[in-house]
């Protein structure tokens, strides 16, 4: 149900590990909990979904891949196959950047599925590779609760000329951009994000820092790595996922389901439980910018 070619993890897999959140300012707060996520190669996704009676697209499947859950699938039209979802990813990247994505030949999705009919995923990442198995782009699909909104960030990775094979699998990449989507009522909008990513392999790492700018007049001029050097920022929050790869098999997925039968419920409960703790600690509260 998964394939590994050399040191490059190109097929279906599970990533199992921990996620840690730390808040530094104006109050201190931190937590860590175990997590697992599926890593699915979209071109061959449909074949995978046909292999197990309890895992697939059918409504009664305990582990269900519902195409409407991804890439604005609540619209009138949505992807219905893995290849269509891949195409939707490329179209979203083009929409966000205005750039041609024809060099991308493979897309793998790191995210949550439906468990017991329930779905919520704060972050899905679509890793986009060229024919040399170099990571070119990452599309970040961010969701919030209770507003049930989604937003997308296009994270550029490969900046070398086409055909340059010098990218190392162990290389880590930094991308910065303005925050343009309300996620937590305990973080204001006037912030920027700094991502530290690696190419998925034995260990997958995602580190996200939330930075508050100390010079607000530069807010509107910042995009990706174009921030003025003289403008300083303060790290107020970070989140880190450290996950280890496992080939995707029914046995391994079943083991994770025994430990956490409904991962999505665990995620949602965790969000509101930590929000309650922040409220008790009297963390500053920020209304939704469009619903205040």
Q: Which of 14-23, 149-158, 221-230 has the lowest mean pLDDT?
A: 221-230
The average pLDDT across 206-213 equals 94
160 pLDDT more than 50: no
Q: What share of the chain is helix, strand, coil (3-state, %, to 5)?
A: 20, 35, 40
Could you tell me if 216 and 190 are in contact, meaning their C-beta atoms sit under 8 angstroms apart? Answer: yes
Strands 55-56 and 63-64: parallel
CB atoms within 10 A of CB 75: 8
pLDDT for 71-106, tens place per residue? 976 565 788 999 999 999 999 999 999 999 999 999
Residue 95 and residue 181: Cα distance in Å, rounded?
17
pLDDT for 257-292, tens place per residue? 998 888 989 999 999 999 999 999 999 999 998 864
Beta carbons within 8 Å of 11's beta carbon, 6+ residues apart = 2, 3, 4, 5, 41, 44, 247, 248
CB-based burial of residue 206 (10 Å sphere; 0-12 exposed, 13-18 middle, 19+ buried)?
A: buried
pLDDT band at residue 163, thresholds of 50, 70 and 90? very low
CA-closest candidate to residue 237, choices 19, 25, 18, 20: 25
Could you tell me which residue, 10 or 134, shows the higher pLDDT? 134
pLDDT band at residue 220, thresholds of 50, 70 and 90? very low
pLDDT for 94-141, tens place per residue? 999 999 999 999 999 999 999 999 999 999 999 999 999 999 999 999
The DSSP bridge partners found for residue 104 are 130
Could you tell me if 173 and 196 are in contact, meaning their C-beta atoms sit under 8 angstroms apart? Answer: yes
């Amino acid at each position: 149900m998964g394939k590994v070619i050399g040191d490059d993890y190109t097929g279906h897999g599970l990533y199992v590990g921990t996620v840690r959140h730390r808040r530094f300012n104006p109050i201190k707060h931190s937590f860590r909990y175990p997590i697992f996520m599926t890593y699915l190669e979209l071109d061959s996704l449909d074949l995978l979904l046909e292999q197990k009676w309890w895992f697939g697209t059918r409504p009664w499947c305990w582990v269900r891949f519902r195409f409407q859950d991804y890439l604005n699938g609540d619209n009138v039209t949505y992807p219905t196959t893995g290849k269509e979802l891949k195409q939707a990813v490329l179209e979203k990247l083009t929409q966000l950047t205005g750039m041609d994505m024809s060099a991308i030949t493979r897309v793998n999705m790191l995210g949550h599925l439906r468990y017991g009919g329930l779905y919520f995923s704060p972050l899905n990442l679509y890793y986009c590779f060229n024919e040399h198995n170099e990571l070119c782009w990452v599309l970040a699909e961010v969701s919030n609760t209770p507003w049930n909104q989604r937003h997308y960030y296009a994270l550029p990775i490969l900046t070398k000329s086409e055909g340059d094979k010098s990218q190392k699998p162990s290389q880590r990449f930094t991308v910065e951009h303005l925050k343009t989507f309300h996620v937590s009522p305990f973080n204001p909008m006037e912030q920027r994000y700094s991502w530290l990513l690696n190419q998925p392999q034995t260990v997958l790492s995602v580190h996200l820092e939330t930075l508050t700018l100390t010079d607000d007049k530069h807010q509107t001029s910042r995009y990706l790595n174009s921030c003025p050097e003289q403008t300083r920022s303060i790290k107020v929050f970070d989140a880190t996922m450290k996950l280890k790869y496992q080939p995707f098999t029914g046995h391994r997925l079943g083991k994770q389901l025994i430990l956490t039968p409904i991962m999505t419920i665990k995620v949602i409960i965790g969000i509101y439980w930590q929000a309650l703790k922040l409220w008790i600690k009297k963390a500053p509260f920020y209304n939704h910018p469009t619903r205040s």
